Structure 1
Amino acid sequence: MSKPVRHILGLSGGKDSTALAVFMRQQYPELEIEYFFLETNKELPETYDYLDRIEARLGIKVVRLEAERGFDHWFEVYGQVLPSPKMRWCTDFMKIRPLEKFIGNDEAVSYIGIRADENREGYISTKPNIRPVFPFKEHGLTKADIFRILDESGLGLPDYYRWRSRSGCFFCFYQRKYEWIMLSKEHPDLFKKAVAYEQASQKDRGYTWVQGTTLLKLLERQDEIIEQHNKSIKKEEEKLRKRNASLADVLESVLDEEDDEIPCMICS
């Protein structure tokens, strides 16, 4: 007798995957969905708080999937070379491999929170037993719908959306300059750890988290970066006022203008 098809949904601690969990519970209550979170032990505290809220509000259990060896191990294996958009070893060892181990050879449907207004695919496994499904695309749901779903569910947004628009590790190399500055203010201890990784990498390799500068040099320009960000926020607020955009929406638009590079899909 063949095993039943598994239904899986990954939560990143961000708005889209959370809204998808709410949407699937509302629209397809008959499905026995397995919810998971890819644990790196390098997340923001707000992410863990938000996951707890999701579990409590939706009455679900989110399985934490963790790699056998953590970031520090692979950092040493790679000769203290920082992960980067061109060499995302952290995604491979700490995200993709634990997920594919979790699924094994079982037939699985993977629900992915890519919206109808996005031009990206998300992480799609090359394993033939995993079939990706995009409910938001199928139902024509856009960013405005995601904010509405989260608001109506009572979950709202994670607290880090005050200053950061993407989920992921506290030292994610896809962070924009303003987000690094805010990390230093919101979580100075985590910022110091990010600096320590960077300085270790610089000894022999000269790698930095932000292309062309170090975090400490970036900190020297914090007043300039914050001032420019605030000017951009004000300009964007005026532009989006007509469609009643939320503060999180405004922040995301401004940060995307600074750097619209698409982050690791499996992370965000």
Structure 2
Amino acid sequence: MADKHVLGISGGKDSAALAVFVRQNHPELDVEYFFTDTGKELPEVYEFLGRLEGFLGKPILRLNPRRDFDFWLREYHNFLPSAQTRWCTRQLKLAPFEQWIRPMLNAGDKVTTYVAIRADEEYREGYTSKHNNLKVSLPFRDAGIDKRGVMDILDSSGVGLPKYYDWRSRSGCTFCFFQQKIEWVRLKERHPEAFEEAKQYEKNALEHGSPFTWTQRESLSELEKPARVIQIVTDFERRKQRDLASRPVNPLRPVDAIEDIDDIFGEDEGGGACVVCHK
């Protein structure tokens, strides 16, 4: 029997900052870092993982699902995953993690998994342990570290932010259904081949009777029309300026460079994301 410590990296800023935080504050722990690869990640995610590995001084284990996205899409009768049916999270993220730690738990090891829920996210819940020997730890919440604190950790460590934050506010799959419409527009601009793949998945799903499209109330074929793109960009910029104007001025804490798209749009377009993917 042994004490094991594991920390999942999503490719996002919070989990990366948590890895840095744990390494700096608990160097005595032999933490195993892991990333569950769906095979549908942005290329910027892989670049960021390499940069983070350089700081941590050890590799981030890649956990690959036994079955890929296409397999599970067929199993779910070509119904796309959605906020109501998050089979992608269950089958491509949670199941590989549980399969990986099961031998540890079966051997009697005590496993602590570290989750990057911040102190300013009281509404979020992390992974729920289903085993007596599996403990969930929330270091950021315990230490009172908020979003600004996460940014400070990444800045001071030199790890910085993933490059996709130049145009997107979330990690996860290229065609995550939690994306806002402006993010789909930017995906088409930055990675047109990924946008076309998402369109094909959607077309196939609709032909098989799926009630869901990737984004609410319109298909990607409708969303990519030039007039609609102009409308989406204009609407986003208007809401962004309104959001910035409403924020209190604090010279000690300047406005974050990251556009928090969920804050700007709220629940209008599906707001939020799965913790295991987005963090």
Contact 1:195–1:216 (CA<8 Å) still a contact in 2?
Answer: yes
Match of 1:223 in 2: 230
Report the RMSD for the aligned CA atoms in angstroms: 1.6
Contact 2:80–2:214 (CA<8 Å) still a contact in 1?
Answer: yes
Correspondence 1:127-166 to 2 at 5 A: 127-166=131-170
**How far, CA to CA, are the matches of 1:96 and 1:250 in structure 2?**
26
Q: Deviations over 1:92-132 (max 9, x none)?
A: 11111110111112420011110001021122232332110
Q: Deviations over 1:206-260 (max 9, x none)?
A: 4311122101111121100001111222233334472311220555532447546
From 13, 16, 35, give the equivalent of 1:15: 13
From 212, 215, 234, give the equivalent of 2:217: 212
Contact 1:117–1:142 (CA<8 Å) still a contact in 2?
Answer: yes
Contact 2:111–2:135 (CA<8 Å) still a contact in 1?
Answer: yes
Letter in 1 for 2:112: V
Q: CA deviation at 1:55?
A: 0.3
Contact 2:262–2:271 (CA<8 Å) still a contact in 1?
Answer: no
**How far, CA to CA, are the matches of 2:172 and 2:189 in structure 1?**
18
1:115 aligns with 2:113: no
Contact 1:240–1:250 (CA<8 Å) still a contact in 2?
Answer: no
SS in 2 for 1:266: helix
**How far, CA to CA, are the matches of 2:181 and 2:259 in structure 1?**
18
Correspondence 1:215-254 to 2 at 5 A: 215-220=220-225, 221-240=228-247, 242-243=249-250, 244-249=254-259, 251=261, 253-254=263-264
**How far, CA to CA, are the matches of 2:214 and 2:34 in structure 1?**
28
Contact 2:10–2:171 (CA<8 Å) still a contact in 1?
Answer: yes
Q: Identity over the aligned pairs, expressed in percent? A: 42
**How far, CA to CA, are the matches of 1:255 and 1:156 in structure 2?**
26
Contact 2:180–2:270 (CA<8 Å) still a contact in 1?
Answer: no
Q: Deviations over 1:137-194 (max 9, x none)?
A: 1111111100111111111111111221111100101111111111111100000000
Match of 2:25 in 1: 27
1:178 aligns with 2:182: yes
The answer for unaligned runs of 5 or more in structure 1 is none
Contact 2:181–2:269 (CA<8 Å) still a contact in 1?
Answer: no
Contact 1:11–1:35 (CA<8 Å) still a contact in 2?
Answer: yes
Contact 1:83–1:90 (CA<8 Å) still a contact in 2?
Answer: yes
Normalising by structure 1, we get a TM-score of 0.94
Q: CA deviation at 1:44?
A: 0.4
The answer for unaligned runs of 5 or more in structure 2 is none
**How far, CA to CA, are the matches of 1:92 and 1:236 in structure 2?**
34
**How far, CA to CA, are the matches of 1:171 and 1:127 in structure 2?**
32
**How far, CA to CA, are the matches of 1:127 and 1:54 in structure 2?**
30
Relative to structure 1, is the Cα distance of residues 265 and 204 closer, same or farther in structure 2, using a 3 angstrom cutoff?
same
Relative to structure 1, is the Cα distance of residues 257 and 79 closer, same or farther in structure 2, using a 3 angstrom cutoff?
closer
